[in-house]
Amino acid sequence: MTREESVWWKSGTAVVAWIAVGTVVVHLATGWRYGFDRDELMALEDARHLAWGYVQYPPMTAFLGRVALELFGTSLVGFRFFAALAQALAVVLTGLMAKEIWRAAASDEWGPAFAEATAGEVVSGRKKRRPEVEELEKPKTHPSQLRVDHQKTRTVRTGTAGEKFAMVVAAMAAVPFCLGAGTLMQYISFDYVCWVWVAYCVVKIVVSGEWRVAEGLLSASGRRGILHSADYVRNDGVFFGGPLDEEPKTHPHKTRMGHPEEESERAGEWWWVGVGVGIGLGMMAKYTMLFLVAGLMVGVLLTPARRYLRSGWLWLGVAVAVGIFLPNFVWQWKREFVSLEFLRFLHVRDVGEGLTDWFLLGQLEITLLAAPLAVAGLWFCFFTQEGKRFRILGWMYLVPLVLFLVMRGREYYLAPGYPMLYAAGAVWVGRKWRVAGDEWREEKSEEELRSESDRRGVAHSADFVRNDGKFLGGLSEKYPKTHPHKTRMGHPAEAATWRDRRGVAQSAGSVRNDVAFSGRWMKVIWVCLVLDVIVAGAVALPIAPVNSGWWKFASRVDSVFPEEIGWPEFVEGVAAVRDRLPAEERGRVGILAGNYGEVGALNLYGEKFGLPWAISGVNSSWERGYGNPAPETVIVVGYPREFLEEEFASCVVAGRTWNRYRVMNEETMEDPEIFVCRGLKGSWKEFWGKARRFA
């Protein structure tokens, strides 16, 4: 066990966990500022009316909102807690994906070292050793004879440092979006974590079904008697055995100890159930999960993962996903799939307002300075030898990208697809630039040079003196000064000595230059990641003083801030209109709200002023009706004057919405008048059909 492994709170997993906990703490510390957002007020209103579905979204957001209400009441920080927690979980899963991908990629490079170190086999009940292992076991003191132990030590140290680097880089790249999405209780947060969970489960499937097969064989070499695991070479996910001639020709997978490859792969297949859970819950959070499913299906069909189509675990995962989503599907069926109508309205509105025009450029806003890391992740999955088994992740990103682009989706729809690319990109960067640390690189070069010296027969390797990371050769005096190219044919060792020493010096210099180069780039990466976090926090967290220059800039970048201002004043203004009504009208007065933020705010703050329960024709509020008995006098907000004058005999403006900060938002700019309407021309049933609207 390395020193770092013995200190658990410094491990890669612990560091990622600390980062995630830090994001939750930040959200709790800043979430009380401003007020409820318009979307949060909608979720709050729906949380009071639990159902298996809602017009505007599936039921998960409302359900978690109800849990938050039960636990924390109407506390703003408490209501946002589960969104912050979901985003923190996504950060952890991103780091764990990097961990699994790193170990899988590293197994290709280091597996033979472990196999050679455990090369004792049991054949037909008798233990047999290879000659080279017996040679290594002889008590020799020359450094080259310790190469196996050094290789094992180097592998552990490299894996620990490089793995930790990849995990922390991937997690840090995921933090900026976490800070933004975790500030509000909305379906984006839960859709995001479901995408990341599905990607993590897919990584576990790929890893468990392939490189852990090698791990099982290597471990079985010493513990379970598998024949010569060192002779098994990985070739695109398949292991071929080449036993020595003197050994029995028994297939290694059919040894008397069992079937480790089959057992290992079967052990990983159960993660398809996790995929099913993630897809099912994702469909209960946001229907864009279907785009990830499309990418997953393409990835399965176009990669070796299609072998899982014969696995019962995959189809069990399908059944689990369908089972989780089924209640919402039935709810939609009974209402003639009303959400499809709502989504068509939403899409037409977004396209008409130009919100979909900058989809590709919007990806840069989402990824910020981590965009190259995402590109590196795609490169790793599609164009590197160690990453090609993870091509399924690349398809899980590219297919939704193309579909959203063609169908003109909003830029943030693809945001959940980046954590898996961050994880893959962090692994590629870590392996490309050898980020295990300068100290390890120097030890690595020394080990390789000593081993090379012993293997090739370079004379007097002890004459090479280490000086500041360099190895300087000093030719022994007993060797003639003749140039090696001019030696007699009977003295090849002199020529070999010259060439090998020159190669040793060049190799050491190359390693040292690579260390310096990678060190500079590592600093650039950390600076970029920290800047991303700072910028995202500055524009996404509710920390700027209202109406300051900072706040105005953040409001242009993140347009939700103005919609968090002024809701208590809005309700206070409606209450003032009610209070000015004649006493005989107050008992039969109703409040009709035109959008979901207004109805949510009226029912949240209205109790303080003794207001009646607000009604609305927007989205799912329309299903809840207009009350029994129906109101006679109606205070109306959020509806245009033209519509009201057509439906009521009398409508007068009794007030206007306002807020103490004079912030311009939807309430103060769009239909800000507060009407008092009397004398409904038709029946309430007829009016209610006309009052229905989407928003």
Tens digits of residue pLDDT in 16-49: 999 999 999 999 999 999 999 999 999 999 999 9
Instruction: Check residue 384 and give its pLDDT.
Output: 93
Q: How confident is the model at residue 587 (pLDDT cuts 50, 70, 90)?
A: confident
Q: How confident is the model at residue 161 (pLDDT cuts 50, 70, 90)?
A: confident
Instruction: Check residue 147 and give its pLDDT.
Output: 47
pLDDT top residue among 512 and 591: 591
* Range of weakest confidence among 62-71, 249-258, 382-391, 398-407: 249-258
Helix, strand and coil percent figures for the chain, each rounded to 5: 65, 5, 25
Instruction: Check residue 108 and give its pLDDT.
Output: 61
Q: How confident is the model at residue 502 (pLDDT cuts 50, 70, 90)?
A: low
- What would you measure as the largest C-alpha separation in the chain, in angstroms? 123
> Highest-confidence range of 228-237, 500-509, 603-612, by mean pLDDT?
603-612
Instruction: Check residue 451 and give its pLDDT.
Output: 57
Residue with tokens 């880089």: 169
DSSP 630-643: PPSEEEEESS-HHH
Q: How far apart are CA 69 and CA 278, in angstroms?
A: 25
Task: Report the pLDDT averaged over residues 402-429.
Answer: 96
H or E element in which residue 456 lies:
helix 438-456
CB 121 within 8 A of CB 127: yes
Backbone torsions φ then ψ of 648, nearest 5 degrees? -120, 150
Tokens of 583: 């006493």
Q: 338 pLDDT exceeds 80?
A: yes
Instruction: Check residue 302 and give its pLDDT.
Output: 96
* Range of weakest confidence among 91-100, 176-185, 504-513: 504-513
Q: How far apart are CA 364 and CA 498, in angstroms?
A: 54
Instruction: Check residue 518 and give its pLDDT.
Output: 59
Q: 588 pLDDT exceeds 80?
A: yes
Q: How confident is the model at residue 450 (pLDDT cuts 50, 70, 90)?
A: low
Q: 138 pLDDT exceeds 80?
A: no
DSSP 541-607: STTSPTTSHHHHHHHHHSTTGGGGSSHHHHHHHHHHHHHTS-HHHHTTEEEEESSHHHHHHHHHHGG
Q: How many CB atoms lie under 10 A from the CB of residue 84?
A: 26
Which of the 8 DSSP states describes residue 231?
Answer: G
- Tell me how long the chain is: 695
From the list 278, 618, 559, 619, the residue with the least C-alpha distance to 412 is 559
Instruction: Check residue 268 and give its pLDDT.
Output: 80
Tokens of 499: 């060439």
Residue with tokens 């590629």: 428
Q: How far apart are CA 57 and CA 285, in angstroms?
A: 7
Q: How many CB atoms lie under 10 A from the CB of residue 660?
A: 10
Q: 175 pLDDT exceeds 90?
A: yes
Pairing between β-strand 589-593 and β-strand 633-637 as defined by DSSP bridges:
parallel
Q: 205 pLDDT exceeds 60?
A: yes
CB 652 within 8 A of CB 675: yes
Q: How far apart are CA 177 and CA 540, in angstroms?
A: 9
Instruction: Check residue 156 and give its pLDDT.
Output: 46
* Range of weakest confidence among 286-295, 483-492, 550-559: 483-492
Instruction: Check residue 219 and give its pLDDT.
Output: 45
Give the chain's count of helices (H) and strands (E): 28, 11
pLDDT digits (tens, 9 = 90+) for 214-262: 444 444 444 444 334 334 433 343 433 344 334 444 444 443 344 444 4
pLDDT digits (tens, 9 = 90+) for 624-673: 999 889 999 999 999 999 999 999 999 999 999 999 999 999 999 988 99
CB 419 within 8 A of CB 174: yes
**Cα-atom radius of gyration of the chain, to the nearest Å?**
33
Tokens of 586: 């107050």
Instruction: Check residue 48 and give its pLDDT.
Output: 95
* Range of weakest confidence among 87-96, 567-576, 661-670: 661-670
From the list 119, 122, 153, 151, the residue with the least C-alpha distance to 137 is 119
Pairing between β-strand 233-235 and β-strand 238-240 as defined by DSSP bridges:
antiparallel
Instruction: Check residue 159 and give its pLDDT.
Output: 56
DSSP 338-374: HHHHHHHHHHHHHHHTTTTTTHHHHHHHHHGGGHHHH
Task: Report the pLDDT averaged over residues 396-424.
Answer: 97
Q: How far apart are CA 31 and CA 184, in angstroms?
A: 8
pLDDT top residue among 476 and 96: 96
Q: How far apart are CA 625 and CA 646, in angstroms?
A: 21
Task: Report the pLDDT averaged over residues 190-196.
Answer: 97
From the list 98, 14, 11, the residue with the least C-alpha distance to 419 is 98
Which of the 8 DSSP states describes residue 408?
Answer: T
Q: How far apart are CA 270 and CA 288, in angstroms?
A: 25
| Residues with Cβ within 8 Å of residue 532, at least 6 apart in sequence | 172, 173, 175, 176, 368, 369, 370
Angle subtended by helix axes 260-269 and 187-209, to nearest 10: 170
pLDDT top residue among 392 and 252: 392
Percentage of residues of the chain with pLDDT beyond 90? 63
Instruction: Check residue 187 and give its pLDDT.
Output: 94
Backbone torsions φ then ψ of 240, nearest 5 degrees? -110, 135
Tokens of 226: 């598998």
Instruction: Check residue 649 and give its pLDDT.
Output: 93
Instruction: Check residue 431 and give its pLDDT.
Output: 87
Tokens of 357: 């025009």
Q: 581 pLDDT exceeds 60?
A: yes
pLDDT top residue among 227 and 265: 265
Determine if residue 598 is left, alpha or beta; phi over 0 gives left, psi from -120 to 50 gives alpha, anything else beta. alpha
* Strands annotated E in 49-180: 121-123, 126-128
* Range of weakest confidence among 121-125, 488-492, 532-536: 121-125
Backbone torsions φ then ψ of 5, nearest 5 degrees? -65, -30
pLDDT digits (tens, 9 = 90+) for 348-378: 999 999 999 999 999 999 999 999 999 999 9
Task: Report the pLDDT averaged over residues 333-342.
Answer: 96
- Exposure of 495 by Cβ count < 10 A (0-12 exposed, 13-18 middle, 19+ buried)? middle
Q: 118 pLDDT exceeds 60?
A: no
Instruction: Check residue 499 and give its pLDDT.
Output: 52
Q: How confident is the model at residue 266 (pLDDT cuts 50, 70, 90)?
A: low
From the list 359, 285, 362, the residue with the least C-alpha distance to 90 is 285
CB 211 within 8 A of CB 108: yes
Residue with tokens 């010096």: 505
Whole-structure pTM value: 0.80
Residue type at 569 in one-letter notation: E
Instruction: Check residue 237 and give its pLDDT.
Output: 39
Task: Report the pLDDT averaged over residues 149-177.
Answer: 76
Residue type at 565 in one-letter notation: I
Task: Report the pLDDT averaged over residues 299-314.
Answer: 94
Q: How far apart are CA 344 and CA 347, in angstroms?
A: 5
Instruction: Check residue 520 and give its pLDDT.
Output: 74
